[in-house]
Amino acid sequence: MKSALSIALAGAALLAGCASSPSVPAGMQAGKFVSYECEGGKRFQARLAADGSTVRIRYEGGYELDRKADGVYEGEGWRLETQGKMELHHKGKVAVRGCSAM
């Protein structure tokens, strides 16, 4: 009985750990800048922090964006959405859209 309970608790802990870890945006690698090509020939670069808490972008300068939700990073007037096709917004307006890793 104790072993069955231990297995059940270990399984629950494993599932909880998976649920709380942030997903890695498409094409990104922790600690390495990745180039993205977007609609209209625009490009930008992004680097995910090792713990997934921030993304550093290079587009018209360099900016550090904090993770706000799964697939959403914001900071300094910028918002990076990484669910589906990647988009970068600045002050509420789309800067680049339809981006994919090169």
pLDDT tens, residue by residue, 59-99: 999 999 999 999 999 999 999 999 888 999 999 999 999 99
Long-range contacts of 47-51 (CB under 8 A, 24+ apart): 48/24
Domain membership flag for residue 17: no
For position 24, what pLDDT does the model report? 75
In 3D space, the residue among 6, 45, 2, 11 whose CA is nearest the CA of residue 25 turns out to be 45
- Residues present in the chain in total: 102
User: How many distinct structural domains can be found in the chain?
Assistant: 1
pTM of the model: 0.75
pLDDT tens, residue by residue, 19-63: 445 577 778 889 999 999 999 999 999 999 999 999 999 999 999
DSSP code for 82: -
33 CB-contact burial (10 Å; exposed 0-12 / middle 13-18 / buried 19+): middle
Domain range spanning residue 67?
24-101
Domain membership flag for residue 36: yes
Say how many C-beta atoms besides its own lie within 10 A of residue 95's C-beta.
18
Domain membership flag for residue 6: no
